Amino acid sequence: MWKSRLKLRGKYRYEIDNLIVSKRTTSTTHFYGAGLSYNQKKVPTLRADYNGNRRNNAFNQQQMNSVSLSSGYSYKVSKKNLRTGINYQWMMSTADSISAAEYQLHNVSLNQSFSFVAPVTLLLTAGFNRLTSQLQANNQIQLGTGLVSSPVKGLNTALNIDVFKNLGKELRLGASLDVSYLFLKYFTISTGMRYNSYQNVVPSDAPFNEFVLVTKLMAVW
């Protein structure tokens, strides 16, 4: 509305997972959400979203609610395009069983981007989140940096390096590389690679590494 300055969103999805013969029980999940955003030149952008889902099976029912708020402002300094943003998310999950699935999460992050004359954007991120559950309370800080580039038409790349530190517990060092390419006007192939190294400070937990690779082919017409 208002020449796309104000946008409203809504969604709903229903899933049933009884397709696996070896699964002894069927779960049904309802996903739903709504949101709005306001985008106007020379003033900060605003966005608010609500997302929820409810899962039911023979043993329990689990409900998740999430609210996220974000604002950002774009400006120029010495012919460089800069953007400063702040994000906040609150999430709560409740369950009527002893599965320890109840928790609350508060997450806040600051983001800064620098776009140069070359097709390269530098990203800086700092964040903090607090997770409380039936078992424990956990505080975590996050620091990250990344580069986003479109060297040729249709090709997009993103490289990120980040550090997650659970206060008093483990340290995670991570890096990711994402590449996508548009071809034949309608098809996009994308590949994402991520490597994490977990350095635990609890003596009973040994350090370990993980590697994840995801490739997707999408068609839009």
pTM: 0.78
Q: Does 22 score more than 80 pLDDT?
A: no
Cβ 179 vs Cβ 188: under 8 Å? no
Query: Per-residue b/e over 3-14, b at no fewer than 16 CB within 10 Å?
Result: eeeeeeeeeeee
**Domains along the chain?**
59-219 (2.40.160.10)
Query: Whole-angstrom Cα distance, residue 196 to residue 144?
Result: 13
pLDDT, tens only, 102-127: 889 999 999 999 998 778 999 999 99
Strand residues in the chain grouped as ranges (E)? 6-16, 28-38, 45-56, 61-77, 80-95, 103-115, 120-133, 137-149, 155-166, 171-183, 187-199, 208-219
pLDDT above 90 for 195: yes
* The total number of residues written for the chain in this structure: 221
Average pLDDT of the chain is 90
